[in-house]
Every structure is written in C-alpha cells, then in structure tokens.
Amino acid sequence: MTDTQAPVLSAVRNHIGHLTLNRPAGLNALTLEMIRQLHGQLAEWAEDPAIHAVVLRGNGEKAFCAGGDIRFLYDSFKAGDKRHETFFEEEYALDQYIHAYSKPVLALMDGFVLGGGMGLVQGATLRVITERARMGMPEVGIGYFPDVGGSYFLSRLPGELGTYLGVTGVHIGAAGALHAGLADHCIAHDQLAELDRCLDGMAWSVHPQEALRTLVSTLALGNPGEPELETLRPAIDLHFAQPDVASIRASLADEQRPAYRDWAQRTLQVMDSRSPLAMCVTRELLHRGRLLDLASCFALELHLDRQWFAKGDIMEGVRALIVDKDKNPRWNPPALDAVSPEQVEAFFAGFKPAAARARRLTTA
C-alpha cells in the first residue's frame, strides 16, 4: 500500500501533526484500521515535544466523515463474531481520548460530518466547518441510536435542539451548526488553502491554542447563511420537551401556527420513516445523558451496543437501506404506539455509571 492509498494519511509540517481521513470514495467512513491508526498516531504525537498541535480533516470534496463502516458491523454480527463490539469499544476510546487530548486539536470539516465523524470532532479544541458542511446524527434512520458520545454532546445543546436532532436524525447546515454549538467557526471553502498556508507559516510566539484560535477567528466568515434552527427554536423547544416520542409526535401534529406548520408536517414525515424503537430509546438516552459525565455516557452507549444488534432495529435498517436497498425496513415494533415503556427501560437495566464503578474500585 502506498502512502496515497493508506486509509489515514499523517504528516508533520511546522510543528503541526496533520491527520487526513483518506477514503473519499467511501465518504471517509471509519474502519477499525482507521480508528487504530488515528489513536496510535495521536498517542505518539502527544509524547513528542516537537508537535504543538494537530489538524484533523477528510480527503475529497464530499465529506469529512460520513460515519462508521456500517456494512462491516452488519457482516460481523451476521457472521457471529465480535468484531463489531471491538469496533465500538475502540471507536469510543478514540473519541474520549480526543476530548482529553493534551494538545490543541483543530478539526477541519468540509462536506458531510455524520455519526462517527461527529464523534471525532466534538471533543476537538477548535471545530471549524466550511459553508458546505452538513452535520448530523442520523442513526435512527437505520434503526440505531446516536452514539460516539452523542448522549453527552447532544444532550447539552441549548433547549431541546439535541433531542430534536437525535430523535429525527436530520442534517443541519453551517449556520445551524454554529447556532447549536456543534461548531465554533466557519471558514469559506475557498479559504482552506489560505488556512494551510498560514498554518505552515505560524511562528508559535504564543501558546498553540491561542495561536490557532486567533488564526481561525481572522479567517472566519461573519455569516454563513440563515440559521433556520434559530427561527425554529420556539417550536423545537415546545414539541421536543414532551415526555416521550409519542407525545412529541402528537404535539407536532397539533401545531397550527403558520410560521411552524409546514416544518411540523415535514418533521412528522421524517419521524414516520424512522425506527420507532430507535427514536424512543434515543429520547431516553439523551434524557439520561444530561445527568452523566462523559465517561459514563460512553459507557452507557456501549451498554446499549451490546444488546442492540440482537434486540434493536439496526440489522433490519442496514439490510433495507444498504444491503438489499429496498428502502422498506420492517421495523419491530412497526409503530410508536406498539413500543412500551418497559421495552425501552429494559435496554438500560443493569447499567452503572462510570463514576460509580470508579468509586467502588477505589474503595475496594
């Protein structure tokens, strides 16, 4: 394999470690090999005093990273092996490592930033998008739930934005990402070459984090577009504060205000295409995530992962949308009113937050 064929490219220029996801034909979807390469290179650079900062980006014009290699996970479970469990364990470990990384990480996002891509960037020091960015956690569309720390970062968004994004799985543009707090700055796509030129010429006369923040602020766009989320916030906060997904749906169906009626109807159509079970578990996951620390959120997501392939809707979702491509998933249960609170609660039974486990180990 040549350097250009490697799934992750690494280079060092002017005391900056550059990591590039390099599967553009697959929208830079993460494989286990990529996760291991990213984690290993970050760990090496963390110990290298010559490296002042890290820049993370994706190759190609379409995506930073459109998620994980879902077909691999499907095939692993079908084969009866544990590779899909290993994937989640190592992916979450990488994401959590980035949250606590000892040097500034600049995540540079152009195009799609979905699922596993969001997990890579939400712990970065500086989350920089272009006006072409499309961000989201679309897992409910394949019968899954927002993972990679989504129970932590979605649950901490203003108002009910996180519940809205997680339960519906919709994508948002650059202005929406900035309004929601899922990105820090927006730089024009045409300015990316200038950003690289500036990075290559930085003098490092101040702390690396301050130097990067000043540079990005200088190049940032003032207004990347109309923030639709800001306009919709009153309706989102009303409807998605309801106590369960069935109540959210009923509240949306009752929306009569002209400013929000069309959006409410579109949102209903989206929700009616999603896995009822995945939406209900997602709402509960985000509700619980608000009260958990980061490590406990990752632990809870792993707790769900270990049950979901056998008891959730992901295998059917991947079959219908990626394997057979009939686009007609047979969700189980097929409707919201058939999902019982007991069925949702069962997925969370037996979970102990990471902090509680750590206290028990300390006192043992």
**Per CATH, domain 3-363 is 3.40.50.720:** no
d(CA 234, CA 260): 9
152 alpha carbon, distance to own chain's centre? 10
344, pLDDT greater than 80: yes
pLDDT band for position 3 (50/70/90)?
A: low
Residue that is written with structure tokens 């979807």 in the block: 29
Across 271-287, average pLDDT: 98
SS3 156: coil
Q: Hey, what are 216's tokens?
A: 């990005």
- Tokens representing 320? 């219908």
pLDDT in tens, 40-54: 999 999 999 999 999
Number of H helices, E strands in the chain: 17, 10
Both tokens of residue 220?
A: 């940032």
**pLDDT higher at 222 or 29:** 29
Give percent of the chain with pLDDT exceeding 90. Answer: 93
Query: Would the pLDDT of 279 be above 50?
Result: yes
Q: Is the pLDDT of residue 261 over 90?
A: yes
Exposed/middle/buried for residue 6 (C-beta within 10 Å: 0-12, 13-18, 19+): middle
Look at the chain and count its residues: 364
The structural domains of the chain, with segments of one domain joined by +, span 3-363
**Rounded distance, CA 118 to CA 65, Å?**
8
Catalytic (active-site) positions: 68, 116, 139, 147
pLDDT in tens, 282-334: 999 999 999 999 999 999 999 999 999 999 999 999 999 999 999 999 999 99
The pLDDT, as a whole number, for residue 223 is 77
- In tens, the pLDDT along 211-258 reads 999 999 999 987 787 778 999 999 999 999 999 999 999 999 999 999
Report in angstroms the alpha-carbon separations of 93 from 29, 84, 231. Answer: 17, 14, 36
Give the residue from 151, 154, 124 showing the smallest Cα distance to 302.
151
- DSSP assignment, residue 5? G
Predicted TM-score (pTM) of the model is 0.95
Other C-beta atoms lying within 10 Å of the C-beta of residue 356: 12
Neighbours of 358 (CB within 10 A): 12
- With 70 as the cut, is the pLDDT of residue 23 above it? yes
Residue 249 in tokens: 């749906």
Q: What are phi and psi of 256, to 5 degrees?
A: -120, -5
Over range 124-130, report the average pLDDT.
Answer: 98
Average pLDDT of the residues in 13-32: 98
